[in-house]
Amino acid sequence: MTELLNRTISEIVTDYHQTAPIFEKYGIDFCCKGKRPLEQACTERALNKEEILAELNNAIETQSTAIDFNALSLTVLADYIVQTHHTYVKFNMPQIYNYVLRVATKHGDSFPYMKEVFQLFSEIQEEMNQHMLKEERVLFPRIKELEANGALDVPLDYYTGPINVMEEEHDRAGNLMQRIRELTSNYTAPEGACTTFRLSLASLQDFEADLHQHVHLENYILFPKAIAVYEKLKQ
């Protein structure tokens, strides 16, 4: 399936959800930077295209029990995002914050970059809390209402306005996590690092992986699907 090279990363993950871990493995962002063709992404990161293609094709051909997110209704998908990803963020983010705070406080003089990591993650925590609140109280209820009652008498920007804001905030969070990845050399613990140091980096890496899946479901499935429903109803 060499044609995958010409498809965008977001398209591949949307059609074959089991490929997401492979992109995570190679540090290929499939959410905020998902509109790049696979070949371009491989070239930018100096990755072996044949090796990645082989892994992707193997994942695609392997029987998968992954959820077909494209087949879910707007309401079910929005609820899934809240129950799975929002719940994950709300539970894990305070724990990660505390881990990184301890490392920055105790080891910040020896590893100054961890002080910056703490500042960056503090920004992410504050912004994500506000972001999820806006989705749960404003945007998602509008999308559910659209599906349940039709477009009613509202203009398109009733939906695209908050969607654009959410996408901008997704980019912001993705860029902050990318900076953390760079500062920590892909979440690599220094030699002799304590357990909390290692745990903080592992937790940050897991957080970024969840964020990528979270953003992908919204940017490339939920939001476009909602706009398509609105436009069809207005025809």
pLDDT in tens, the chain (235 residues): 678 889 999 888 888 877 888 888 888 888 777 889 999 999 998 999 999 999 998 888 875 556 889 999 999 999 999 999 999 999 999 999 999 999 999 999 999 999 999 999 999 999 999 999 999 999 999 999 999 988 778 999 999 999 999 999 999 999 999 999 999 999 999 998 898 899 899 999 999 999 999 999 999 999 999 999 999 988 7
Q: What angle in degrees, to the nearest 10, is found between the helix axes of 140-149 and 223-233?
A: 40
Amino acid making up residue 173: A
Architecture of domain 2-61 in this structure: Orthogonal Bundle (1.10)
Instruction: Quote the pLDDT of residue 45.
Output: 87
Residue 227 CA to residue 148 CA, distance in Å, equals: 14
Q: Closest Cα partner for 58 from 26, 31, 21, 30? A: 21
Annotated domain spans of the chain: 2-61, 70-233
CA contacts within 13 A on the Cβ side of 150: 5
Tokens standing for residue 51: 């090796």
What residues contact 109, with CB distance under 8 A and at least 6 apart? none
Residue 33's pLDDT is 78
